[in-house]
């Protein structure tokens, strides 16, 4: 018992040493508001999930942040992916993000350690392999391997981005551990209740893994019963228990789906899988798996798996599980597209194939290591040294990353600017709790939501269940407030071509994937683009919904709507605008009863003159 406790304490220490470095560096380099710090330190665009945590913690998924709009439907949320964060956020606020990041790092370390231990590896060897897995994305980035196809996908297998993969991957690892136990033990009701719960975790947080897990379970149970369907059917009570468990735990998520705003679902990329679209997607996927490079990968993994089984190597039954997951990941998009009436981001399925291919190869190598190389004794001292060397390397990479950010003048100025804005908002809130904010900055929007600001004049279409019409009217009101023309309005959302897609960040912020444009679909299946744009769209993979382009007739509709919409007076307490994205006539604003405050002689914030203390008006 004591040795087990010592083992888990050592894992706790390792997790803490991995976790603490980036937060020490953050507090060392930047002096800022805690909530803003957490948003700024969020990996990738993970901070867009933070409002969901706030909403669930208050049991209100229909907030509009508009004093004139209250009767709205709900947003959809990755329920179990944010549940624990929501509960702790309710208790201790923003600090919960930091504490739970540590918890999920610890959970990742424990779960991978347990998986490696199933291969009868020593404690230190299991820890070393776990650390390698954890550091993989940082190693790939530091060595510039992410520029090589597929390596960037492998690098994203696990990192600190919320909620995927920070929370989602531990759910997957829990499932894998349970499957290992199910193969080793006889049928027990408690395991099938737990299985239903774990499937619910995946279904409500990242359903792509759920599809893969279900397919893998079918193969595993068929294999367990030696493909005797009759014998498998005799076990129906266990599977029924699992289905009941799954539906019970999924119920909150499923009930909420009934009340989700349809326009919100469209913005989150949900689209109908018509027969024509199914055919296009399936044809594209078939062409990809018939490419030589994929066939070679599949054959290599399959031949190695067959060889390991033929030799009956120790623990090969465990690597078989990862091979089955790999095969299931290949089948999953075909099954899903065939039977599902709607879809979203199909590329998550293809990314999963790469991830599970990597896992299959890695654990095949572990079996080989166990059977052919394990006789090499590196010594306990050397392994302990290697563990702490890996931790040191990880923190060194983190330190280099923070140093680079601190030396990036543009990044530093923007971060200081946001902190100054937050400080001014807090100062004004001390005398007016009902202040309103106008900004195009997504991080400031997120901060305002987490900080209980109720009146936000513009808000991302990913965050609120407003209809498309409401969002358009909000934007028109703001543009007219700044005395902008309909041409200015249209130019703000003009289609912008990048290396592989169309992307205007303003279109993405407010309409998210409403205007997806690729070879599979465009908005309302329109072909009304200029010739070069249409040719470019036709070459974009049907899997890439992240390509956004507004058709010409939609621009015409928006322009006409702008011209015909009467100006709705707004008076935001604070205006924080990045002049690079949105030019402001300062003289016009100052005449509208606003004062301006300079920040770093580069940025300006506009505040109603009624806040005399902040505006320095006597």
Q: For the segment 468-507, what is each residue's pLDDT rounded down to a tens digit? A: 999 999 999 999 999 999 999 999 999 999 999 999 999 9
For residues 226 and 206, give the distance between their C-alpha atoms in angstroms, rounded to a whole number.
31
User: Is residue 266's pLDDT more than 80?
Assistant: yes
pLDDT value at residue 585 = 79
pLDDT value at residue 618 = 44
User: Is residue 582's pLDDT more than 90?
Assistant: no
Q: Give the residue with greater pLDDT, 504 vs 381.
A: 504
- Measured at the alpha carbon of residue 315, what is the angle toward residues 223 and 371, in degrees to the nearest 5? 145
What does the pLDDT look like over 229-252, one tens digit per residue?
A: 888 889 999 999 999 999 999 999
In a 10 Å sphere around its CB, with 0-12 CB exposed, 13-18 middle and 19+ buried, how is residue 376 labelled? exposed
Q: Mean of the per-residue pLDDT values for the chain? A: 93
**What are 297's two structure tokens?**
């990968």
Q: Which of 49-63, 174-188, 426-440, 591-605 has the lowest mean pLDDT?
A: 591-605
ω before 567 within 30° of 0 (cis)? no
Nearest to 21 by CA among 220, 213, 160: 160
User: Is residue 448's pLDDT more than 70?
Assistant: yes
Per domain, the residue ranges of the chain are: 1-31+73-166+377-407, 167-266, 269-371, 494-549
User: Is residue 48's pLDDT more than 50?
Assistant: yes
Q: Give the residue with greater pLDDT, 61 vs 227.
A: 61
pLDDT value at residue 474 = 96
Q: Indicate the helix (H) or strand (E) that contains 151.
A: helix 151-155
What does the pLDDT look like over 20-37, one tens digit per residue?
A: 999 999 999 999 999 999
Tokens 């992410």, residue?
A: 146
Report the 10 Å Cβ neighbour count for 197.
Answer: 18
User: Is residue 1's pLDDT more than 60?
Assistant: no
pLDDT value at residue 376 = 64
Tokens 């190869």, residue?
A: 361
Q: Tell which phi-psi region holds residue 600, choosing left (phi > 0), alpha (psi between -120 and 50) or beta.
A: left
pTM of full prediction above 0.85: yes
């Amino acid at each position: 018992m004591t040795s087990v406790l010592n083992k888990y304490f050592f894992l706790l220490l390792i997790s803490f040493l991995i976790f603490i470095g980036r937060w020490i560096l953050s507090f060392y380099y930047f002096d800022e508001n805690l909530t803003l710090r957490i948003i700024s330190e969020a990996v990738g665009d993970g901070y867009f999930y933070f409002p969901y945590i706030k909403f669930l913690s208050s049991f209100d998924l229909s907030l509009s942040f508009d004093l004139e709009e209250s009767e709205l439907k709900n947003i959809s949320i990755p329920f179990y992916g944010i549940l624990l964060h929501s509960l702790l956020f309710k208790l201790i606020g923003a600090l919960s993000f930091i504490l739970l990041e540590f918890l999920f790092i610890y959970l990742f370390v424990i779960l991978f350690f347990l998986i490696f231990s199933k291969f009868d590896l020593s404690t230190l060897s299991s820890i070393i392999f776990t650390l390698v897995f954890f550091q993989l994305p940082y190693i790939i980035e530091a060595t510039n391997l992410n520029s090589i196809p597929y390596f960037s996908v492998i690098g994203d297998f696990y990192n600190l981005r919320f909620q995927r993969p920070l929370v989602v991957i531990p759910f997957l690892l829990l499932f894998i551990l349970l499957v290992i136990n199910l193969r080793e033990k006889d049928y027990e009701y408690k395991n099938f209740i737990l299985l239903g719960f774990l499937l619910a975790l995946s279904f409500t947080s990242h359903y792509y893994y759920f599809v893969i897990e279900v397919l893998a379970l079918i193969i595993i149970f068929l294999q367990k019963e030696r493909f005797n369907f009759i014998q498998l059917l005799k076990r129906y009570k266990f599977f029924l228990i699992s289905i009941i468990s799954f539906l019970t735990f999924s119920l909150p998520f499923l009930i909420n789906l009934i009340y989700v705003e349809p326009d919100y679902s469209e913005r989150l990329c949900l689209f109908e899988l018509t027969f024509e679209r199914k055919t296009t997607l399936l044809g594209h996927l078939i062409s990809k798996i018939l490419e030589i490079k994929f066939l070679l990968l599949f054959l290599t993994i399959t031949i190695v798996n067959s060889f390991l089984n033929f030799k009956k190597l120790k623990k090969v039954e465990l690597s078989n599980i990862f091979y089955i997951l790999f095969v299931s990941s290949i089948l999953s998009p075909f099954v899903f597209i065939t039977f599902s009436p709607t879809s979203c981001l199909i590329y998550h399925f293809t990314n999963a194939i790469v991830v599970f291919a990597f896992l299959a190869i890695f654990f095949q190598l572990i079996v080989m290591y166990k059977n052919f190389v394990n006789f090499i004794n590196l010594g306990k001292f050397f392994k302990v040294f290697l563990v702490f060397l890996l931790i040191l390397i990880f923190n060194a990479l983190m330190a280099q990353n923070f140093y680079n950010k601190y030396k990036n003048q543009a990044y530093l100025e923007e971060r200081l600017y946001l902190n100054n804005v937050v400080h001014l908002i807090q100062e004004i809130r001390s005398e007016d709790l009902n202040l309103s904010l106008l900004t195009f900055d997504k991080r400031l929007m997120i901060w305002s939501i987490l900080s209980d600001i109720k009146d936000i004049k513009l808000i991302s279409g990913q965050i609120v269940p407003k209809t498309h019409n409401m969002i358009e009217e909000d934007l028109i009101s703001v543009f007219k407030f700044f005395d902008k023309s309909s041409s200015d309005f249209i130019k703000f959302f003009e289609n912008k071509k990048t290396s592989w897609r169309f992307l205007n960040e303003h279109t993405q912020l407010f309409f998210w994937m409403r205007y997806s444009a690729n070879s599979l679909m465009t908005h309302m299946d329109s072909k009304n683009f200029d010739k070069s744009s249409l040719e470019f769209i036709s070459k974009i993979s049907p899997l890439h919904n992240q390509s956004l382009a507004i058709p010409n007739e939609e621009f015409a509709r928006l322009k006409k709507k702008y011209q015909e919409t009467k100006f709705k007076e707004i008076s935001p307490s604070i205006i924080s605008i990045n002049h690079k994205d949105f030019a402001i006539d300062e003289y016009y604003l100052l005449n509208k009863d606003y004062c301006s405050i300079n920040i770093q002689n580069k940025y300006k914030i506009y505040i109603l003159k009624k806040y005399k203390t902040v505006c320095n008006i006597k």
